[in-house]
Structure formats: C-alpha cells, structure tokens
Chain A
Amino acid sequence: MKMLSGSEMVIKSLVKMKVKYLFGYPGGAVLDIYDALKTVPNSLKHILVRHEQGATHMADGFARATGKVGVVLVTSGPGATNSITGIATAYMDSIPMVIISGQVASHLIGFDAFQECDMIGISRPIVKHSFLVKKTEDIPETFKKAFWIASTGRPGPVVIDLPKDILDPLIKKEYIWPENIFIRSYQPIISYDPKKIEQIIIQLLIAKKPIIYSGGGVITSHSEEELLFLAEKLNIPVTTSLMGLGSFPGTHKQNLKMLGMHGTYEANMAMHHADLIFAVGVRFDDRTTNNLLKYCPQAIIIHIDIDPTSISKTVIANISIIGDAKQILKQIIHKLNKQKIENRQKILQKWWNKIKKWKDIQSLSYSKSKTYIKPQSVIKCLWKLTKGNAYITSDVGQHQMFTALYYPFNKTRRWINSGGLGTMGFGLPAALGVKLAFPKEIVICITGDGSIQMNIQELSTAKQYNISILIINLNNNALGMVKQWQDIHYFGRHSHSYMNSLPDFLALAKSYGHEGMKIEKKEELKPKLKTAIQQLHKNNLIFVDIIIDPLEHVYPMQIKGGGMNDMQLKKRETV
C-alpha cells in the first residue's frame, strides 16, 4: 500500500487521470501541491499564467478544442475569486473543467483567516458540482468523481476545494485509487422512450417546410456525422446556433448559417416560416429566439437535449427526447434506413425555392470603402489564407459576430468562443490553451481593442512557453458592439464606448517579446496577413493590429421585440 501526502495524492491523481496540462498560479495555500509538482516534470506540465482568469480560459480553450477536461490550480482567497469569471464562462457553455482551489487550513475556516474565502459558496451557482475535501485519504476518490461529473451528461466545471492542512507533505496516508466509483444520486446516462423515435420520423417525413437547428450539444456529443447524414438524406436545410458553428459544415449547400440576433436572413426567415423545427443540442437561448410570443408560429418543435431543464424552458417542445444526441440520431437513422423514402428533392422543392429567394437577398453583403478596411473583409481573407482549417478563438463584440458570420467552419471544435456568458478577455488565453493542445495547427485569436486589454497580460505567458498564435486585433478605437447598440437604441449617444487612450499595441507586443504588425491600408491586408501566418511557423506570436472602419455595424440584425423574421439588413433599412 502506497503512503502519500495529500499534495502528492493530488499530483498522482492528476497523472492517473492522464492530465497533460495544469493551468495555474501559486500561492500560500497550494505551495505544497506546487512542491509536489516537481516530482512529475514529464507527465504533467504546469503552465504559469499571469492572472487566474487566464488560467481558467486556457483550460477552457484546451477543453473545447480537445473535448477533454481542462484543469486549473489556484490558491485560496483572491486566487479562487479571480477564477470565477472563467468558471462561469465554462458553466454557461457546458465545458468540462476541474478547478482545484487551495483553502486555508481546516481549523481556520470561518475565522476570516488570511486569504480565506468561501469558494464553495461563491462558486455554487456557476458549477456543476463542488467538493470541500476534509480528509487526505478522500483526495483520490474526490478527483475521480470530479472528473467523471465534469465530463459526463451535460459537461460543466467542478470545483475541488482543498484545505491546506490535508495537503501537509509530512503527513502520509494510504493512497487508494478507486478504479470504479458510484454516486447514487448522479446517473447521467438516461434511457429514452423508443416510441418517440417513430414519432420524430413521422414528423420529419410529413413536414413540408422543415429545418434542422443544430447547437453546441451536437459538438459535445460528437454527433456531427449523424446530423450530416440525416440532413442530406432528408434534404433538410440546417441552421446553427453560435455555439453550434462547425456542427454542420459551414460551406455545405444546405447550411443556412447562423440564426438569431445576428443570424442570416435566410436562417431566420426559414425558422419563422418552418412547419417543423428539429432542434438538436440547443437550449433556445434568448439571443436565438427574439420575442418568444412571436416565435416560429407555425412550427412543430422537436427537441433533443441531454439536459432535462433545457426542454420546454423557454420554447415549449411538441416532442422531446432527453438523452445523448449521438445515440438518438443513430436510432433515427437506423429506423429511417429501413423505410422507403420518397424523392426528397421533389417533396421539398417549394421550400427550397423559398429559401433561395431569401438567400438571394445576400444578407451578408456589405458596403465597400475606399478608405477603410472593412472587418468582414479581414475575416474573409483569413478564411481564404487558412483554407478554413484554423482554430479560431474570439473575444466578445462585433469582431465575434463578424467571425461567426464570415468564417465558415467546416469542422467541429474549431470555433472557440464564449457564447453563453459573453466574456471579454476570453480569446487570448483560450487561444493559448488551444495551441498547447494542437501545437502544429494554426491558432488565431480574433479580438478587438476593448477585449484584448482585458487579459493582455497573458502575452507574457505566451512568451514564457513560446506559444505561437496569431492575434488579429480589429481596432476601431471603440467598444464596437456597445457603440452599435448606442447608435441603434440610444440615438447615437456614445456614453463611455470610446477608448481614447489605446496603447501602441505593436510596442506592447514587442515589449513582451513578440512580433507586431500594423495594417492600415486595404491593399496591405492580404500580403501582410499572409506574411503573418507564414511567420507563425517560426514559433513566434504575431500581434496584428488592423485599423478598421470605425463606423461599421454588424448586420443583419433582428429588430428588438420582433419575431425571427423581423430583421434589419443594413443601417436604417428595414425589410
């Protein structure tokens, strides 16, 4: 029987769970763990961040790109509280993550000790579950449980709070790694009613105006192949949520692209006029529905989701199945394959004709400028140069929407973005996490002058570990999306949406030891971006500051309070 200290058990458990990267920041309560880290230099690599929020986003980016659990290590008090935004970001987007937080010694808990805070209490609303470990010998089982909970069912972040005294390197206890664990109140695999499969097939076959609405759950459950097969077999158009980009090939002729507030005209119109919405792995988030009272009045709604709380929470489902999307889609395909299916081209011809008319409006067209670089053209250029194969992280704002609309993602897990919480400062650290997971791939962080400054200190982390990502800063000298909303809803009163004191981004990047590049003229865009991408192969981080049209808005845009079909396609032009 092995006798180990608590801190050794932590490290041993992480190695046992095959954790490759640990993103963290040391402090008093976790110093014993940091000391024990020295014993496993090859199997578990620690990435020292510059702020704990950065650690959570890096682990998050790693998890989104790989599908594995991202792991974070922070100290008690401020270390733990700094990780909160990242935990909430992961929670909102159902990302598997384990956050190990140090805690003051057990006898000091509740005494307002130095660097004490109630991490379990503070993180409670934004975690899938949390553990306060009270005994050293409970550490292995707790870790196994935490990883299991984080990565099964609807994934999410799990906090493990470790009081300092149970980590004491001088106190050795029996280390028993549980090969199997059982939590009687947590059984994530849910069986579904097979009769509903029949009902769904009937509806899919009789619908005259069907649409598939695909979300992040398709990516989480790896059901993209089944979805593609089903959509092609039944000739049904597909729209994806922001989180679902890549779940259906972006350049596929049946893809109507993103729906919702900044969705394409054809996607939103098709949703509004559909007689059947086949929703897979989506939660009918308010950014995709507009006014619920006017939502898709003719549609029968079929909803597949792993999380029972997502069913009929906002939009009432006519047929719902709770369970793993992959298994359910497989069953639908299995049964469909046994049936004789009529000519789907013919049956849905009228519907596709309508969709074509909406597509012909070309809602993603934008006005050209002689003087300014248009942000849309930057994204399109990046898509061409990377042949659509890059991993793209984004921050939150106009640049995020431009990327979502103009970079067609053909594969899953290439679009790394804070959809639910909308966290500015996410892009750079997330990109570093992605690049660590896939060092040979091109990783691009598309950001804005507001967002990048929220976690810009992580440029230092990138330098320390030579993480060569490309940062595209769409610089409009403003908080673009805030300004856009002020233009539309506040009569152009720009209250605190300007950034009047921007740093010299190139000098700043250089001061961290990176390469910098500025693009101000349209004709420079393509050659300079090409050079920047080539330079990535020299293991440099390239910061490209692109001065874009400061007046550009993101369109199309739904009209507030309207139905899915109430859209504005250009400034002051209503369809």
Chain B
Amino acid sequence: MMHKILSILLENEFGALSRVIGLFSQRGYNIESVTVSPTEDSSISQMTIQTKVENENIVEQIKKQLYKLINVLQVQEIGIFPHIEREILLIKLKLDHEKIKDVILITKIFKGKIVHITNKTIIIQITGTNKKITDYIQIIKKKNKILEIARSGIIGILKN
C-alpha cells in the first residue's frame, strides 16, 4: 500500500466538498486525512487529501475521477514533486509531576510547545510531517497517559 497526497483546487460552492469526499466513498477509495479551506481567492477552496492505494493505476483513476467533477479545477499529486507538508497535533496528557521534565525535553527536541497546563493536564502542540507527529506520539505514550488527541490532517504545497 502507498500513501499519496493529492492537492485539489475546487470551486468554493455548495456541495462541492461533499462531491469530492463522496467520490472517494462511492468508489471504494480510502481517505486517511483531509483538510480544506478557502484560498486567497475566496471563490476557490484548496483541499489536501491523504489517501492509501494499492498501486499507481488507482491514483490515476482517482485523479481522473476528481477531474470529472464539475467543480474541480485542478488536481495535483504533490508527493511526487519537491514539496512542503505539515500537520498539526494537539495532544492532552495527564500531568505527572515526576515525568514533566522528560515531557518538556522530548517536546523541545520535536520543536513543539506547551500551549496549556493545569494541575492535572498538559496540552502540547507539535507541527511537522505526518511521520514526525506519529513518532512523537509513539515516544510520548511510552511513559505518559494520553487523554486526548486532535490531528489536523496534512496540508501541502509544492516548492516550485
């Protein structure tokens, strides 16, 4: 299975988003994450979809099917070109005073920051690639109790 990132420009219209998402479900494609928001031109939205596929032919079909939607302006598979991708993680941990130093150290290594803290909980924000965030969670959960996680899904942009 391959992970693919598709960047889609579409008309910012009623139903446009649901048509894209619906296309994935009706044709049995998998969506791992999706982010969407208007661009600098408010009549156009940009979506980034991360999907998992068996082979390149399926990615081609997805791209063609997306282009077939009347609202879709552009589809780019950004993973195959030099690009920047980011995801945001907000993670809430149970605060353990004996382990707090470790948490701060690991978070510093990952260039994250503590955005909220109480006597019982600590909320940390990490920004980075999908892999970096997954790695952070793996490390932090070994010695800390995770209470809640919110991940944004990937956004990406081509370097050129």
Contacts and interface: CB of A to CB of B under 8 A. Distances in A.
A132 interface: yes
A531 interface: no
Contact of A185 (B11, B57, B64, B65): B11
Nearest to A322: B64
Interface stretch (B67-75, B77-85, B95-103, B112-120): B67-75
A380 interface: no
Given A124-B22, A125-B22, A309 B73 contact: no
A406 B106 CA distance: 77
Nearest to A309: B64
B135 interface: no
B61 A313 contact: yes
Interface residues of B, number: 19
A185 B22 contact: no
B10 interface: yes
Nearest to B62: A309
Contacts of B67: 308
Given A132-B14, A132-B15, A185 B68 contact: no
A309 B72 CA distance: 15
Interface string A168-192: 0000000000000001111000000
A143 to B, nearest CB: 15
B138 interface: no
A30 B25 CA distance: 32
B1 to A, nearest CB: 20
Contacts of A125: 22, 26
Contacts, number: 38
Contacts of B22: 124-125
Nearest to B74: A185
A90 B154 CA distance: 38
B19 A124 contact: yes
Contacts of A120: 14-15
B18 interface: yes
B61 A309 contact: yes
Interface string B8-42: 00110011001100100010000000000000000
Contacts of A312: 57, 60
Contact count band on A: 20 to 34
A548 B70 CA distance: 48
Nearest to A128: B70
A404 interface: no
B68 A308 contact: yes
A311 B65 CA distance: 11
Contact of B18 (A124, A185, A311): A124
A104 B136 CA distance: 50
B20 to A, nearest CB: 11
A309 B15 contact: no
A112 B73 CA distance: 34
Contacts of B15: 120, 124, 130, 132
Contacts of A132: 14-15
B72 to A, nearest CB: 6
Interface in B101-140: none
B70 A184 contact: no
A274 interface: no
A132 B18 CA distance: 13
Nearest to A308: B64
A121 B61 contact: no
Interface string A127-143: 01110101000000000
14 contacts: A124-B19, A125-B26, A130-B15, A132-B14, A132-B15, A134-B14, A185-B10, A185-B72, A185-B73, A186-B70, A308-B67, A309-B68, A311-B64, A312-B57
Interface of B: 10-11, 14-15, 18-19, 22, 26, 57, 60-61, 64-65, 67-68, 70-73
Which 6 residue pairs spanning A and B have beta carbons closest together?
A: A129-B70, A309-B64, A125-B26, A308-B64, A185-B73, A186-B70
Given A185-B71, A309-B65, 16 more contacts: A121-B18, A124-B18, A124-B22, A125-B22, A132-B14, A132-B15, A185-B10, A185-B11, A185-B72, A185-B73, A186-B70, A307-B68, A309-B64, A309-B68, A312-B57, A313-B61
